[in-house]
Copies of this chain bind each other. A is one copy, B any other.
Amino acid sequence: MWATGLKAEDGYNLWLRYTKANAPQLNSYRTNITGILPAGASPTIVAATTELFNGCNGILDRNLSLRINVENGTILFGKIENIAKWVTTKIDIPNNPEGFILKTIKENDKTFTVITSKSDIGVLYGCFQLLRLMQTGRKISQLDTMSTPTIQLRLMNHWDNLNRSVERGYAGISIFNWHTLPEYKDQRYKDYARANASIGINGVTVTNVNANAMVLSRPYLDKIAALANIFRPYGIKIYLTARFSAPMELDNLKTADPLNPEVQQWWKKKTAEIYYLIPDFGGFLVKANSEGQPGPQNYNRTHADGANMLADAVAPRGGKVIWRAFVYSQDADDRFKQAYNEFMPLDGQFKENVLVQVKNGPIDFQPREPFSPLFGAMKKTPLMMEFQLTQEYLGQSTHLVYQAPMFKEVLQSDTYQNGKGTTVAKIIEGETYQNKLSGMSGVSNIGNDINWTGHLFGQANWYAYGRLAWDLSLSSESIADEWIRQTFTNEKATIHTIKAIMMSSHQTLVNYMTPMGLGHIMGNGNHYGPAPWSNTLSRADWNPVYYHKADSIGIGFNRTSSGTNALSQYATEVHKLFNNPDSCDERYILWFHHIPWNKQMRSGKTLWEELCLHYYKGVNDVKMMRAQWLSLEKKIDIQRFEHVSMLLNIQVKEAIWWRNACLLYFQTFSKMPIPAKYEQPDQNLEYYKSLRFPYAPGNG
């Protein structure tokens, strides 16, 4: 009652806890590492040195010495040319300057470890890799590992506003305290950079895509520059969201027409000012002509016209323009189709430093979406993948959902756009069409909560996103394994249990929220909780009823040729597969078909029975997740154990709410009973419809 063997942890340290290694590894690590020798003195090498000291001292429970020569057990790290005077062995290093090699070397009776690269930042990545190996209990005595990133731009997108509110943020408010910058540099800024660098993230947009022009004003640029100075040693560039009407808002220009010379000049001057303050500025991220944001269409120009104007401004300094494809107007017959319809005609028209950023699915970060038909279709434009780490539609920060399996599902989808095997992963890597640029963005789930992500397991999504962007071939399981070992323990049984929870969690959420291809049936505005009945917003495509189309006959959105024909946007092979309800993956079926309630599904059950089964299975599986977690009581420190336990209680409660509310509502159409073998809802539909949550977080 009064003591626990495990020290309480608040989660602040993320996966960089650097706790003492277990006995068998400890001895070997202590033999392999006795001191460190930094080659070079750049800010990045200083950062690497600090990290290695803190990390090794923690893991080894020793105070390592700083060496000036190679001795047994030295970690020698630095750029390849800087380590030359201590090593004669030839070391092959990756061509990609971000890549690195970890290598155990024996020379002159001395065994030591070399971490090297073409660049200092590559060296830093290598140091984090070595620390990761130790934190995950791996052998480090005979290293010979080379590693290079798959994707060039590995970005975090913050939807953080200047008043520190975070759109779709569920972990407190923004970590960026603009009011006290540039003078006050919160410790968090550095720790945020460390965490990102440790998983290879190399860029951050610090403000919302629903942009505020003021971030481009001088007082804010000074604040941004202070952040950039903190991030720079960690290889992290700052990108800014550009409000298209900024020239009008900040300097009273009469237009923001991208073909207007004055406007072009304004952006060139603004860009010069930014580069003066932030020499390694990454570029602009733009949401234009979408959900009320201004854009080139206001002047009858195209997205390409807008993007190219900004691209010209940043090009001389190597800057990029990332233009979002998330667009939909209320006139379209099917929101699914609009991004494709607007952007396909522009393929080939973008300047070479422009990337188009596409959400993983065609709608908006639903628990499960088929891949966006733009992937593979736009052959002359580098497409960036936009994943949403913040769980806007995935239980927000109270549901445990490990997103890596969802990311992998999209990445492994075959677009067939360049023949079989043209996976989404190959498209965004740039392999298929030999794009010069490649990128991924993760919409941040980070806030000022002590543990950063609200739900401790939200950290796993941040971690997994970064690791995947570095190496798309990593499996969800292996990433989970790494994260668990660093976050909790190297104890096998505990890893096994937590991994089982994580690996089942996404499908479980889909089951109790939006099974079989349902989507967008969350509460209006806050997107919290079920509201499939909702039909009060001004635009049809903001209302849940638009998405599920339940009626007396059946449920689902007919996107075949007898419906909106959205399926024709996919390659023929995919189109065919999805177009036939009998070949269509049942995980997506209601996304593409309006299916009669009594249609017999592949299991032999009717659609209604299948729906019931999925919803009930979802609830049961959350209960199972909770039971599994509770079995770990003595294995996890009390604070984090209770944190997750309490959240799982909320998740169970809300899963039941989702199940009951959705089935009771759909039942008004199907007129079929919830099979008697199931526990029946204990509240009626009116009760669920009556619930209101005016202060649910994240809404704007």
Contact = CB atoms under 8 A, between A and B. Distances in A.
Contact of A180 (B3, B162, B650, B694): B650
A183 B449 contact: no
B172 A448 contact: yes
B179 A63 contact: no
A47 to B, nearest CB: 12
A179 B697 contact: yes
Contacts of A49: 2
A695 interface: yes
A698 to B, nearest CB: 10
Contact of A183 (B2, B53, B183, B653): B653
B3 A53 contact: yes
A696 B183 CA distance: 15
A649 interface: yes
Contacts of A2: 49-50, 53, 66
A187 B642 CA distance: 9
A519 B273 CA distance: 40
Interface string A178-190: 1110011101000
A390 to B, nearest CB: 15
B183 A650 contact: yes
Contacts of A162: 694-695
A392 to B, nearest CB: 15
Contacts of A297: none
Given A3-B53, A172-B172, A695 B178 contact: yes
A650 B184 contact: yes
Contact of A448 (B180, B214, B448): B448
Given A49-B2, A697-B164, A649 B183 contact: yes
Given A10-B187, A53-B2, A63-B3, A695 B172 contact: no
A630 to B, nearest CB: 15
Nearest to A397: B180
Given A163-B695, A173-B173, A180 B450 contact: no
A695 to B, nearest CB: 5
Contact of A646 (B50, B184, B694, B696): B184
Contacts of A653: 183
Q: Which 6 A-B pairs have the closest CB atoms?
A: A163-B695, A162-B695, A184-B646, A183-B650, A2-B53, A183-B649
Given A2-B50, A185-B646, 4 more contacts: A3-B53, A10-B12, A12-B450, A448-B448
